[in-house]
Structure 1
């Protein structure tokens, strides 16, 4: 499988880009890799890159976007930060990826049993991590069930995963609210912004459509 070129990127639509990721994740779940020569892709991309998707995911070592979607060099922009939230630097990176570099799809990818979300559920405090966790607190507060405080912590994995899903949704809301460039591109049908959740027990990605 060759790296994407300017010509192949131009044929991609938001819907086709999403389909590529879905098919890649199915290959990953079935331990089937697309036939690609990574060193050949290094050579193919030496004069430019033409990715079709931008994926914001957690730094979790089990959730590498290139692996779970079975993509090669030059296929995706991968943004990783604990808790997969956005700030102005990440929004700027996404604007570059879509407006200047031509990607057609933004995926905000959360995952089950997320450590950063667990920290937010437990109101953990430790150095700079305290400030990071504050970014996830709105998702904790937005999940109203269970109401019993004794159940609203990292030991309740159902609650943790509900917060992870809400965090993805709020992150997408922030992209729309804080990036007029990306919001306008989506309204014009140039890109699609979508949330998804990776299951660390199965390797499956569920998209929120």
Structure 2
């Protein structure tokens, strides 16, 4: 029997069946490993990754349960205010306490990547000992910024912190931050960095 006649129609049918099974398995693997990243890998311009279904995000806890999540500016201001919601007088041991409370305003990756504004440990300890209060007021900057899209919004913000220690005059400082929110499917903070 020649090599040409060794590949019978039966052998060809087996190869075709094997290829069909392999393609089906590959398709199943792709669909089973797909996860929603809610806009962090968006290539559709809608705020949702291509092929992802739009899932309803859980409602925000207090004090943000009335926040308009369809307004990127409102989400941005709320996020920056939240990470500066410092309470050394109530037992916060550092800025990371406020960062943990603010986590619902971030995407999962955004919360993991966020680095709180650094305050020297002796300073924070003195605030705790002296029952210092810190209030924050955040405004969106007017500088040039990347063009807004249907899925992404980015701005600089200026947060004025008023630090009040009983028996001492208040001290103010301003922190400039860069914040990015993405629609996934409602506006959520994906990046926040403090520039100064």
Higher-helix-fraction structure? 1
Larger Rg: 2
Question: Shorter-normalised TM-score: what interval?
Answer: under 0.3
Higher-strand-fraction structure? 2
What TM-score, normalized to structure 1? Answer: 0.23
What TM-score, normalized to structure 2? Answer: 0.24
